[in-house]
Structures are given as structure tokens and as C-alpha cells.
A = this chain, B = another copy of it.
Amino acid sequence: MTFRVLKIDHLGIAVPDASAATTAFEALGFHVESSHDVATERVKTVFLPVGESHLELLEPTAPSSTIAKFLEKRSGLHHVCVLVDDIEAAMADMRAKGVQLLDETPRIGAGGCRVAFIHPRSAAGVLLELKEDEA
């Protein structure tokens, strides 16, 4: 199975207060494109475009959110999402190469796209997300 990594889709940044973080990034030359409540993940997200990518601010909306748990240790960069052309081919290819996946099969991410996470152990300490655009 072959696949291609197309681009960095977004960088996930965990923040305790998305409104304050938005103000900070506006001072840095960014602007808000959209914001969403993602009930399944218990986060509020704010997307700021940059080139072909986005920054994604992630504010937890419940203590049980994985982002809330992350913020107990630190704030800042949480994950890197890359767009791939074929997520199932990517997962099969990676599995064959010994890459440790956190998802057995693709699951539905925030915008309705199929996503899957790679264990940081297989990506030099980076929590890497794979995403395939909707067909």
C-alpha cells in the first residue's frame, strides 16, 4: 500500500482560555477563521489560517477532556496533523513498518473527516495525527 503525505493540515495548541489565546495570536498577525464546539472531544476549537495550514486552539470544556489532562502538565503545542491522500493505505503501510498506532481503524474527527493518531513513541516524541479529506 502506498500513500503520500500532502501537507501539514493543522497544529493543535492546548490552551486554558481560547479567548485569551486568540487575542495573543491576533497580536502575532493571525486572524480567526472559525470556531466550533466539539462535544465528543469535550473541547472548544478556534481555527486560525496560516498558508495552507491552520493553528487549532483547543480549550477543554470538561475536566475529562484529554486536553484538560494535557494542560495539567503544560500548555502549548499538543499535536501535529498531516493530510494524507489515503488514510487506510497509510495506516497499513505504517503498521507493516512497525509504527505504533493509537487507533486501530480511522475514526471521525472534528470536521467529519477520517483521522487516526500515531503514538509519540513512533514519531520522535510528537503526537502525530493523520487526516484524509472527505471524499
Q: Given the interface contacts A123-B25, A123-B28, does A7 sit within 8 Å of B51 by beta carbon?
A: yes
Q: A82 vs B7: C-alpha distance in the bound complex, in angstroms?
A: 15
**A8 lies within 8 A of chain B by Cβ:** yes
Contact digits for A57-87, partner B, Cβ 8 Å, 1 yes 0 no: 1000000000000000011110010111000
Q: How large is the interface on A (under 10, 10 to 19, 20 to 34, 35 or more residues)?
A: 35 or more
Contact digits for A33-70, partner B, Cβ 8 Å, 1 yes 0 no: 00000000000000000111100010000000000000
Chain B residues with Cβ under 8 A from A122's Cβ? 24, 27-28
A119 to chain B, nearest CB (A): 11
Q: A4 vs B8: C-alpha distance in the bound complex, in angstroms?
A: 19
Q: A83 vs B82: C-alpha distance in the bound complex, in angstroms?
A: 19
Task: Say yes or no: B123 contacts A5, CB within 8 Å.
Answer: no
Q: Given the interface contacts A28-B99, A94-B28, does A8 sit within 8 Å of B53 by beta carbon?
A: yes
A72 to chain B, nearest CB (A): 13
**A15 lies within 8 A of chain B by Cβ:** yes
